[in-house]
């Protein structure tokens, strides 16, 4: 079926029809793979459990069913879902604030100033950044336990605030995007080091602040293992762990559940609720992301 007769070379190479079709279908297949489950999830929340099983998987249920699912979901443990959401927001936002206050100056100093131990600190940051943080969960538990912070929000906020990847991103950003001469000129004009950072470096760093903020927020919001260990009380759970609790109350997955059951469409709705904040941040951060995820790539 190939139509590959030789053509004179054009200014732009025109791919053959067959290879074009292949490219198109591969990209479309992956599009379905990535997007269909999200679409299904959104639609599932609008159905009754009966509709979920018997209707077309990609059909819309009804607004009425959506409302009923919402009512059933909020009735679970007396509106636990809202409390979990509030917890998640509290933990993620406080950690984010501390992360930014700590990581941005640190990344700046590593990139733009010279001090004793700089090289060691940089290597340590790289190694810790590449280290899987879940392996430290049990030791962290022991440490937090020793200072009697288990069961308080600080047991996860403080470990979240330590974010070496943010320091590394900031470091890369300043070494690549901000000329050192600019700072040198300001220093010669008599600016103090703090003023150089605050009035010159920081305004230039908006993209990387947004980027570190984004990654830190998403990482904190989606973390499961650490809060699962540190905050076992339902009233303190973040939404991720809470959704796990809901899962174990779905009869079709766990037949032992009694009358307080959660149905599958309600679980789908809870999942949607849990991801909405991240999705919103995604949409707003999009233009920072593409440039920012390449922070290292532009480094040559």
- Indicate which single residue of 69, 95, 155, 161 sits in contact with another protein (rule: CB under 8 A): 161
Does 252 contact another protein by CB under 8 A?
yes
CB of 75 to another protein, least distance (A): 20
Which of these segments, 60-68, 73-81, 85-93, 158-166, binds another protein (CB under 8 A)?
158-166
Does 110 contact another protein by CB under 8 A?
yes
Question: Which pair of structure tokens corresponds to residue 272?
Answer: 């949607």
Binding to another protein (CB under 8 A): which residues in 61-100? none
Contacts with 248 (C-beta within 8 Å, 6 or more apart), sequence order: 254, 257
- Cα(267)–Cα(54) distance, integer angstroms: 18
CB of 173 to another protein, least distance (A): 14
Query: Can you list the alpha helix ranges (DSSP code H) found in the chain?
Result: 17-44, 49-54, 63-75, 80-112, 118-129, 137-146, 154-161, 164-177, 180-188, 193-195, 202-204, 206-222, 225-230, 239-247, 264-292
Tokens 């990482």 correspond to 219
Does 19 contact another protein by CB under 8 A?
yes
Query: Distance from first CA to last CA of the chain, Å, rounded?
Result: 45
Which of these segments, 15-23, 64-72, 77-85, 86-94, binds another protein (CB under 8 A)?
15-23
Dihedral angle sign, alpha carbons of residues 260, 261, 263, 268: positive
Binding to another protein (CB under 8 A): which residues in 172-211? 180-181, 183-185, 187-188, 193-194, 197
Kindly tell me which of 68 and 251 has the beta carbon lying closer to another protein.
251
- Indicate which single residue of 17, 21, 37, 62 sits in contact with another protein (rule: CB under 8 A): 37
Within 13 Å, how many C-alpha atoms sit on residue 64's CB side? 1
Binding to another protein (CB under 8 A): which residues in 261-300? 264, 267-268, 271, 274-275, 278-279, 282, 286, 289-290, 293-294, 296-298, 300
Q: How many residues bind another protein (CB under 8 A)?
A: 113
């Amino acid at each position: 079926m190939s139509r590959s007769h030789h053509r004179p070379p054009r200014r732009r190479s025109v791919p053959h029809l067959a290879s074009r079709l292949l490219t198109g279908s591969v990209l479309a297949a992956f599009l379905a793979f990535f997007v269909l489950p999200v679409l299904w999830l959104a639609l599932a929340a609008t159905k009754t459990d009966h509709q979920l099983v018997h209707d077309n998987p990609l059909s819309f249920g009804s607004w009425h069913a959506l409302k009923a699912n919402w009512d059933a979901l909020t009735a679970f443990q007396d509106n636990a879902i809202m409390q979990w959401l509030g917890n998640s927001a509290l933990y993620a936002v406080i950690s984010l604030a501390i992360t930014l206050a700590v990581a941005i100056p640190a990344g700046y100093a590593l990139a733009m100033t010279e001090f004793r131990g700089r090289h060691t600190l940089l290597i340590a940051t790289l190694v810790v950044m590449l280290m899987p943080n879940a392996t430290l969960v049990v030791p962290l538990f022991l440490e937090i336990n020793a200072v009697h912070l288990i069961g308080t929000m600080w047991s996860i906020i403080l470990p979240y605030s330590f974010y070496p990847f943010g320091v590394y991103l900031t470091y890369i950003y300043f070494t690549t995007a901000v000329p050192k001469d600019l700072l040198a000129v300001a220093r010669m004009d008599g600016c103090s080091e703090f003023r150089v950072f605050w009035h010159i470096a920081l305004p230039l760093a908006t993209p990387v602040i947004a980027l570190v903020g984004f990654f830190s927020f998403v990482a904190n919001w989606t973390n499961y293992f650490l809060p699962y260990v540190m905050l076992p009380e339902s009233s303190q759970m973040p939404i991720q762990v809470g959704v796990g609790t809901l899962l174990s109350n779905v009869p079709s997955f766990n037949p032992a559940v009694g009358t307080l059951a959660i149905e599958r469409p309600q679980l789908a709705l809870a999942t949607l609720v849990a991801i909405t904040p991240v999705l919103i941040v995604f949409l707003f951060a999009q233009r920072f992301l593409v440039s920012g995820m390449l922070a290292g790539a532009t480094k040559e």
